[in-house]
Amino acid sequence: MADTLLIVEDEALLGEELERYYLKKGWETVWAKTFAEAERALLESKLEPLVVLSDLNLPDGNGLDLLEKTRRTANGEWIFLTGYGDVPDSVRAMRLGAFDFLTKPCKKERLDLVVQGAARSARAQRRLEDESSIRKACYSPRSFVGRSPAAHKVCEMLAQLTEVPFSALIITGETGTGKGLAARILHHSGPRANGPLVEVNCAALPRDLLESELFGHEAGAFTGAKGRRRGLIEQASGGTLFLDEIGEMPLDLQAKLLKVIEDRTFRRLGGEGEIPADIQVLAATNRDISERIKAGEFRADLYHRLSVFQLELPPLRSRQEDLEDLVPILVAEFNAKARKKVRVIPQAVWAQLRAYDWPGNVRELRNVVERCVLFAKGEVFPAEWLNLGLAGTPADYSPDLRENALCLPLDGSVGLDDMVNEIIDAMLARHGHNVTEVARVLKTTRDKIRYRIKKHHSP
Boundary-marking domain end, from 135, 159, 193:
135
Give the CA count within 13 Å in the CB-facing half-sphere of 141. 14
Question: Helix crossing, 108-138 with 179-188: angle to 10°?
Answer: 140
- Burial (CB < 10 A; 0-12, 13-18, 19+), residue 313, is buried
Determine contact, residues 385/371, Cβ cutoff 8 Å. Answer: yes
Q: What is the pLDDT of residue 428?
A: 83
Longest dimension (CA), the chain: 91
Helix (H, G, I), strand (E, B) or coil at 184: helix
Q: Are residues 242 and 277 in the same domain?
A: yes
Total domain count for the chain? 4
Domain assignment present for 357: yes
Q: Are residues 308 and 320 in the same domain?
A: no
Domain assignment present for 397: no
Domain assignment present for 406: no
Boundary-marking domain end, from 81, 111, 135:
135
**Which CATH number characterizes residue 449's domain?**
1.10.10
Q: What is the pLDDT of residue 135?
A: 81
Domain assignment present for 149: yes
Domain assignment present for 410: no
Gap between the Cα atoms of 439 and 428, Å rounded? 10
Phi-psi category of 226—alpha, beta or left, where left has phi over 0 and alpha has psi -120 to 50? alpha
Q: Are residues 300 and 334 in the same domain?
A: no
Domain assignment present for 404: no
Q: Are residues 256 and 156 in the same domain?
A: yes
Pairing of strands 57-58, 51-54: unpaired
Tens of pLDDT along the chain (459 residues) come to: 578 999 999 999 999 999 999 999 899 999 999 999 999 999 988 888 999 999 988 999 898 999 988 887 767 899 998 877 677 888 888 888 899 988 888 888 899 999 999 999 999 888 888 887 788 888 999 999 999 999 999 999 999 999 988 999 999 999 999 999 999 999 999 999 989 999 999 988 888 789 999 999 888 878 777 788 899 999 999 999 999 999 989 999 999 999 999 999 999 988 888 999 999 999 999 988 988 999 999 999 999 999 889 999 999 999 999 999 999 999 999 999 999 999 999 999 999 999 999 999 999 999 999 999 999 999 999 998 998 854 443 444 445 555 566 776 665 656 777 788 888 888 887 887 888 888 888 888 888 888 888 776 654
Q: Are residues 186 and 213 in the same domain?
A: yes
The strand ranges marked E within 119-267 are 168-172, 197-201, 240-244, 265-266
Gap between the Cα atoms of 102 and 31, Å rounded? 19
| Amino acid code (one letter) for 319 | R
Gap between the Cα atoms of 385 and 371, Å rounded? 7
Domain assignment present for 217: yes
Gap between the Cα atoms of 28 and 39, Å rounded? 18
Q: What is the pLDDT of residue 391?
A: 41
Gap between the Cα atoms of 125 and 123, Å rounded? 5
Q: Are residues 297 and 378 in the same domain?
A: no
Q: Are residues 94 and 74 in the same domain?
A: yes
Determine contact, residues 315/172, Cβ cutoff 8 Å. Answer: no
Determine contact, residues 150/263, Cβ cutoff 8 Å. Answer: no
Q: Are residues 193 and 44 in the same domain?
A: no
Determine contact, residues 286/175, Cβ cutoff 8 Å. Answer: yes
Boundary-marking domain end, from 312, 337, 355:
312
**Which CATH number characterizes residue 223's domain?**
3.40.50.300
Determine contact, residues 365/316, Cβ cutoff 8 Å. Answer: yes
**Which CATH number characterizes residue 333's domain?**
1.10.8.60
Q: What is the pLDDT of residue 183?
A: 96
Determine contact, residues 357/174, Cβ cutoff 8 Å. Answer: no
Determine contact, residues 442/449, Cβ cutoff 8 Å. Answer: yes
**In terms of residue numbers, what domain contains 129?**
4-135
Domain assignment present for 408: no
User: What are residue 106's phi and psi, to 5 degrees?
Assistant: -125, 130
Q: Are residues 180 and 55 in the same domain?
A: no
Determine contact, residues 371/388, Cβ cutoff 8 Å. Answer: no
Concatenating the DSSP letter of every residue in 247-294 gives GGS-HHHHHHHHHHHHHSEE--BT--S-EE---EEEEEESS-HHHHHH
Q: Are residues 161 and 255 in the same domain?
A: yes
Q: What is the pLDDT of residue 414?
A: 67
Q: Are residues 151 and 106 in the same domain?
A: no
Determine contact, residues 167/309, Cβ cutoff 8 Å. Answer: no
Q: What is the pLDDT of residue 337?
A: 92
Q: Are residues 43 and 108 in the same domain?
A: yes
